[in-house]
Structure 1
């Protein structure tokens, strides 16, 4: 019974926050501008190591974000 009330309160709090224009849920790991910069670097032929170093994000993140992005040398 208590779980139902807890879930209802949480759902209500999320609805109120979204109505007020606040972001709910987990924060964004990497800003969109860094992801776009990583895409640009990949299009220019940079390796994942170089992209990770220049964007200061872990190597697995550009790999995940750039999956399926075509380059002149082929897809990732």
Structure 2
């Protein structure tokens, strides 16, 4: 019985937070503007090391964000 109430309270709290415009779940590791800046730099021919230094995003994450 308690699980049902917990699930209902959680669902209600999530709905209230989403209605208020708050993000639900795990925080973003790297903001979208930094990723876009990394894409711009890569388009200009910068290396992953240079991009990592300028944006603070690790090279392994850059490979994931910039592939394709």
Give the 3-state SS of the residue equivalent to 2:67 in structure 1. Answer: coil
Displacement of 1:5: 2.0
Question: Within 5 Å, which residues of 2 pair with 1:1-76?
Answer: 1-68=1-68
Larger % of helix: which? 2
- State how far apart, in whole Å, the 2-side matches of 1:64 and 1:20 are: 31
Residue 18 of structure 1 and its aligned partner are, at CA, apart by 0.9
Q: Secondary structure at the match of 2:26?
A: coil
Structure 1 residue 50: Cα displacement: 1.5
Whole-angstrom distance in 1 between the partners of 2:2 and 2:63: 43
Q: 2-side partners of 1:31 and 1:38: how far apart? A: 11
Q: Give distance in 1, aligned partners of 2:41 and 2:55.
A: 10
What is the SS of the residue equivalent to 1:11? Answer: helix
Count of residue pairs brought into register by the alignment: 68
State the TM-score, normalizing by the size of structure 1.
0.77
